[in-house]
Chains A and B, each alone.
Chain A
Amino acid sequence: MTLSSVLIVAAALIGIGLYGALSQQSFVMLMMGLELMLNGALLAVIGFWSFALGGAPEGQLLAIIIMAVMAVDMAVGFALVTAVYRKRQADTTESLGTLKN
């Protein structure tokens, strides 16, 4: 286990997540893509922290911030989906041209 190998795994997760976020029609599946990208970012941050930073506590802080971003992403995402679904009965990106109203 080296820093390069950890970063390659993180890159793979980010690549798959990007594919998901771009290709999925359902809002919830789209959010899964975003989460997977953040998953890769988390792995990369901890990789740097563990192999190149000598365990400086700020690295762990950054990981905690990423986890907070994940939580915000999920909560706001689901709230928007619920609101949109209630107004338009829509849960896919195609059925929605605008967020107005």
Chain B
Amino acid sequence: MGLIDIAFILLSAVAVISGWRVFVTDSMVRASFLLLLSFVAVALIILLMAAPYIGVATIFMMAVEMMVMALFMVMFMMNPAGLNPMMMVHQNRFAIGAGVVAFAGLSLAALATDFVDNRVDPAKRVVHDLGIELLGPSMLTFETAGVTLLATMVGAVVLSARSGRFGASDEGSLPPGLEPGGEPAGRKPEESGGHHHHHHMHG
């Protein structure tokens, strides 16, 4: 067993165990950092498989993504630092079954299939090839991905921006009650707020 194999086994263990811990840890922020750890371990395995750009770019992207995720966790969670214990699951048994079946099926397929053995040549300039591919033969695919990302950005801003061209995006909507059928939660609209202003405009 070579050094690469030992590294692969260790990194795989880190990736799988931290991926599993994501869903059993108490804190949501810990969960997102554990997911980041899983991603970093996978990225390092990718580096071992001689794909430097993809590996490092995965670390870069996931660090940003998981940071944003942790931020949202803290924002939406009821406890300020996201450090209090919590467990929020439904259909747990069914989900475990589905996960195990997926794992077993995919691994069986992986073990049963006879793969072609055509390893990447260590002397191959893989980063250079990727660059040529992205802006050469696969330009259309790459640009489509770029346009999709742009559309996503616009869509995300439209969905989440509070103030739109025609006033606040949540204008007229009421939050649900604190108890079923009760008074709407949240801030009460002020009597002398925007409406008052409106009357002035007309009068």
Which listed residue (A5, A67, A82) contacts B58, Cβ 8 A? A67
**B-facing residues in A70-101 (Cβ within 8 Å):** 70-72, 74-76, 78-83, 85-94, 101
- Decide: B103 and A11 in contact? CB cutoff 8 A: yes
Contact A47 B49 (CB under 8 A): yes
| CB-CB nearest in chain A for B19 | A16
CB-CB under 8 A from B100, the residues of chain A are 15
Report the separation of the CA atoms of residues A43 and B49 in the bound assembly, to the nearest whole angstrom: 10
Beta-carbon contact of B152 and A55 below 8 Å: no
Contact of A32 among B69, B101, B138, B185 (CB under 8 A): B69
Q: Is the CB of B32 within 8 A of A80?
A: no
Q: Measured between C-beta atoms, what is the minimum distance from B141 to chain A in Å?
A: 7
Smallest beta-carbon distance B83→chain A, Å: 16
User: B198 contacts which chain A residues (CB < 8 A)?
Assistant: none
Q: Which of A25, A32, A72, A87 is within 8 Å of B152, CB to CB?
A: A72
Scoring B residues 3 to 14 as 1 if CB is less than 8 Å from chain A, else 0, what string do you get? 011001000100
CA distance A33 to B53 in the complex (A): 25
Among candidates A61, A75, A83, A90, residue contacting B141 with C-beta atoms closer than 8 Å = A61
- Total cross-chain contacts (CB, 8 A): 259
Chain B proximity mask over A17-58: 1 for CB below 8 Å, otherwise 0? 111101111101101110110010011001101111111011
On chain B, the residues within 8 Å of A75 by CB distance are: 152-153, 155-156
A60 lies within 8 A of B45 (CB): no
Residue numbers in B under 8 Å from A36 (CB-CB)? 19, 22, 35, 38
**Which residues does chain A contribute within 8 Å of B160, judged by CB atoms?**
78-79, 82-83
- The answer to whether A11 and B117 touch across the interface, beta carbons within 8 angstroms, is no
Q: Is the CB of A52 within 8 A of B116?
A: yes
- The answer to whether residues A25 and B121 also contact, given A1-B8, A50-B51, A89-B175 and a CB cut-off of 8 A, is no
Report the minimum CB–CB distance from B49 to chain A (whole Å). 4
Q: Name A's B-contacting residues (CB within 8 A).
A: 1, 3-20, 22-26, 28-29, 31-33, 35-36, 39, 42-43, 46-47, 49-55, 57-58, 60-61, 63-65, 67-68, 70-72, 74-76, 78-83, 85-94, 101
